[in-house]
Amino acid sequence: MKKPILAGSIIIVAIIIGVSAIFAQNNDDVHIDNIESSDSDSEKIIITTTTNVITDLVENIGGDNVSVTGLMGSGVDPHLYRPSASDVKKLQSADIVFYNGLDLEGKMGDIFVKIGREGTAVWAVSENIPPESLLSLDTDGHFDPHIWWDVELWMEAAKVVATGLKEHDPENSEKYEKNLSEYLIQLESLNSINLKKIDSISQEQRVLVTAHDAFQYFGHSYGFEELAIQGWSTDSEAGIREIQNLADEISKRKIKALFVETSISPATIEALKAAVQDKGHDVVIGGELFSDAIGEKGTTEGTYVGAFTHNIDTIVKALK
């Protein structure tokens, strides 16, 4: 009786040892995979951006080599944005910071100077655009910061991003240059397609009425006159006089449509519409345009190309 019991015990012990070995091997595999994943993540360049249109730009040029954190999402107005303490930490802990410049992020200027002095690479994507290509706002040397609504200027911004990445990570310069070339081709195609769409709008109806003056570059590039209730910044409220004066012009010229913006309350445009209708002209709200921010991440409009296409299609549909 003892021999069968002993043999059975030996078999059971062997099974236990074998199963334990399998579990140990599987646990080792999981541990190794986790380490490899962690190492892979740690090799990426840590980048912090301000607006989500810049986030999209950096992701297109950086590809798999970058990990990008954007401070401002869809619907956020950069003119009024106040960075939190956690935002400052994200800027300070980044390898590179990309921002727009030209006073778009007006309340953050001192922060960029400070972290730059502390050793973080800080790049304004507008910095290589020649002054003659920028639109002046006044005689004090201020320029319109909304450069992304001119595709050709945004191509210059893409080159700045590529330069910043190549300086930080010269080993992958060829990859960044390849990504840049491919993205510039996309932007060239976007520009040519938009020009054809705009041809369907008569010259007298190429008037873009919005809440604030965010589309001067767009108008300059595509032959639109821009009328806005507020100036280039939303840092001041529109008054009744501005609304009434603009309502007079819209009514007199029989302009078809007004447009709201995703990053600004529609209240001023709705007030303008009511003022125009009081004067006997039946103007409509032609749709919603992306101005200071593009759409939600993961959507078509959450990319620069998608947001620009949305704007063009909305404008053409309302004005042609």
Residue 51: count of CB within 10 angstroms of its CB: 27
One of 3.40.50.10860, 2.60.40.10, 3.40.50.1980, 3.40.50.1220 is the CATH number of 45-194, namely 3.40.50.1980
User: pLDDT, tens digit, for every residue of 11-68?
Assistant: 333 433 343 443 333 333 333 333 343 445 568 999 999 999 999 999 999 999 999 9
Domains 45-194 and 196-319 share a fold: yes
CATH number, domain 196-319:
3.40.50.1980
Whether 2 has a pLDDT exceeding 80, the answer reads no
Supply the DSSP string of 204-246, one letter for each residue: GG-EEEESSS--HHHHHHHT-EEEESS-S--SSPPPHHHHHHH
Q: Mean pLDDT in the chain?
A: 87
pLDDT digits (tens, 9 = 90+) for 91-129: 999 999 999 999 999 889 999 999 999 999 999 999 999
Spans of all domains in the chain:
45-194, 196-319
Q: Residue 149 class from Cβ within 10 Å (0-12 exposed, 13-18 middle, 19+ buried)?
A: buried
pLDDT at residue 232, rounded to an integer: 61
At 212 the pLDDT is 87
Query: What angle separates helix 267-278 from helix 240-253, to the nearest 10 degrees?
Result: 50
Q: What angle do CA 269, 317, 252 make, to 5 degrees?
A: 50
- pLDDT tier, 238 (very low <50, low <70, confident <90, very high otherwise): low
